Structure 1
Amino acid sequence: MRLLLAVAVLVLAFVAYTEAQEDTVEGRITKFGHQVTEMGSNLLERGKEVLERARNSEVATASKQFFQSGWEKLRETWADLTQ
């Protein structure tokens, strides 16, 4: 009788332990999903900041102006040649 009672208690303890583990695993997966989402958002924000700084940098602005002025000169030259 004592052995049967001890086995029943051990089975109940094992069931409770496995249910607690399943909740923990589910919680860990959910937490991991939130962390991945947050990391992706942070990466996106940093990428936008880097692109904005590159777009507004002195080198980028000077290069853009150089190519725009060269394009305008080319258009003017082409217009003069076709008339």
Structure 2
Amino acid sequence: MKLSVAVAVLMLVLAAHTDAQEAEPSIEQRFADFQSQMQTLTEDIGEKTKAAMEKFHTSDIAVKTKSFFAEQFEKLKAKIDETFAKES
């Protein structure tokens, strides 16, 4: 009787051990999971960066800065045209 109990316990331990090994993901599956996590992360970062850049381009300070430099460029261009037009 002791032998049959020992064999039964041994079989249960062996079954539990094989179930535990099957539950552990293989290296292949770990790399696949890692790849999908990195893809999700990069897509998320890309979307957030794009949204931040859009927000910055339409922000008040960016619009005012662009218009300031455009005005200064036009003034400089007019001044150059005026200066060189007199000499010719």
Root mean square deviation, CA, Å: 2.3
Structure 1 consecutive aligned stretches of length 4 or more whose deviation exceeds 3 Å: 19-23
The equivalent residue for 2:81 is 79
Aligned to 1:5: none
**What are the residue-to-residue correspondences of 1:52-71 with 2, within 5 Å?**
52-71=54-73
The one of 30, 51, 65 aligned to 1:49: 51
State the match for 2:3 in structure 1. Answer: none
Equivalent residues, number: 70
Match of 2:26 in 1: 24
Could you tell me which runs of 5 or more consecutive residues in structure 1 were left unpaired when the two chains were aligned.
1-12
Q: Deviations over 1:12-47 (max 9, x none)?
A: x7xx68x84885221111011010011001100100
Counterpart-to-counterpart distance in 1, 2:22 and 2:39:
26
Unaligned segments of structure 2, at least 5 residues: 1-13
Q: TM-score, normalised by structure 2?
A: 0.68
Q: TM-score, normalised by structure 1?
A: 0.72
